[in-house]
Amino acid sequence: MTELNKTDLSGIKYDADGLVPVIAQDHKDGTILMMAYMNAESLGLTLESGKAVYWSRSRKKLWRKGEESGNVQTVKALYKDCDGDTLVIKVDQIGGAACHTGHRSCFFSERDGNAWKVISTPVFNPAEVYKK
Amino acid sequence: MTELNKTDLSGIKYDADGLVPVIAQDHKDGTILMMAYMNAESLGLTLESGKAVYWSRSRKKLWRKGEESGNVQTVKALYKDCDGDTLVIKVDQIGGAACHTGHRSCFFSERDGNAWKVISTPVFNPAEVYKK
């Protein structure tokens, strides 16, 4: 992450709440792991630390991804889209799972006919990881 | 797309504006092409037609992706995330480019040091495609 820093982070368009959606993608195989939000502070902390820091909209506070589970995301690259209102980070997902359910990806429900089908098996047991 | 239909699209959580973010990913190599929004109507039209129909927040109307450029997105699969507030569609991007700038992906700006670097070359010339 020495090649990423937060000087001049212009070109990013935050929404009315000061947030920008961030898609986390596995840097090795391109799997989309999750989508969450950052504000300017969490983006700065992400670039400084090299680990993904989001803004939790439900808890209304900084969310240092993996602080409880240990499943941090090491950021390998950062992209913005054509109008600057969405970001992609390519990450190395420590622990192998991004989702609080234990699934590797939060997108483990695939549309199948007129229902949703679970397409993966949890990598960890949430009851054990979040027991505190 | 015969295996996708819109019966019982429960489990999707729309925001206060009735929208859900949708990440379009290339079904072949996993490249993230763009992110846009759908409302319930555009999602229904997407599933009925098998082609991505978004809701344009700027124009406040249905956005039949590719209706002007011809670069439609044939939907191969649909996923929702763990809390149902974000969708992923895997698509076949006709014309090879999803972005109105002519780039294959909207995420053609990569963070490099303290600036953004353009990492791809446009597939088409927007001035020719959108000349109407």
The DSSP bridge pattern shows strands A20-26 and A87-93 to be parallel
CB B14 within 8 A of CB B79: no
- Using an 8 Å CB-CB cutoff, list chain A residues near B88: 32, 107
Domain range for B53 is: 20-120
Encode pLDDT of A16-26 as tens digits: 999 999 999 99
CB within 8 A of A75, min separation 6: which ones?
A1, A4, A46, A47, A50, A51, A52, A89, A90, A91
pLDDT band at A93 (very low <50, low <70, confident <90, very high): very high
A84: nearest Cα among A13, A8, A20: A13
Q: How many CB pairs under 8 A join A and B?
A: 111
For B31, name the nearest residue in chain A, comparing CA atoms only: A30
The answer to whether residue A6 sits within a structural domain is no
**Angstroms from A122 CA to nearest CA on chain B:** 12
Mean pLDDT, residues B110-132: 89
Q: For chain A, how many structural domains are there in total?
A: 1
CB B4 within 8 A of CB A116: no
ipTM of the complex: 0.93
The answer to whether residue B115 sits within a structural domain is yes
- Using an 8 Å CB-CB cutoff, list chain B residues near A3: 112-113
Candidates B5, B83, B103; nearest CB to A114 = B5
The answer to whether residue A14 sits within a structural domain is no
Mean pLDDT, residues A1-24: 80
The answer to whether residue B33 sits within a structural domain is yes
Q: What was the pLDDT predicted at A114? A: 85
Encode pLDDT of B26-76 as tens digits: 999 999 999 999 999 999 999 999 999 999 999 999 999 999 889 999 999
CB A114 within 8 A of CB B7: yes
- Using an 8 Å CB-CB cutoff, list chain A residues near B119: 79
Q: What is the mean pLDDT of chain B?
A: 92
Residue type, position B8, single letter: D
The answer to whether residue B131 sits within a structural domain is no
Encode pLDDT of A46-56 as tens digits: 999 999 999 99
Contact state of A82 with B113 under an 8 Å Cβ cutoff: no
The answer to whether residue B3 sits within a structural domain is no
Q: What is the mean pLDDT of chain A?
A: 92
Encode pLDDT of B32-42 as tens digits: 999 999 999 99
Candidates A7, A86, A108; nearest CB to B114 = A7
Distance CA A85, CA A41 (A): 16
pLDDT band at A60 (very low <50, low <70, confident <90, very high): very high
Q: What was the pLDDT predicted at A99? A: 96
At A52, which CATH number?
3.10.20.810
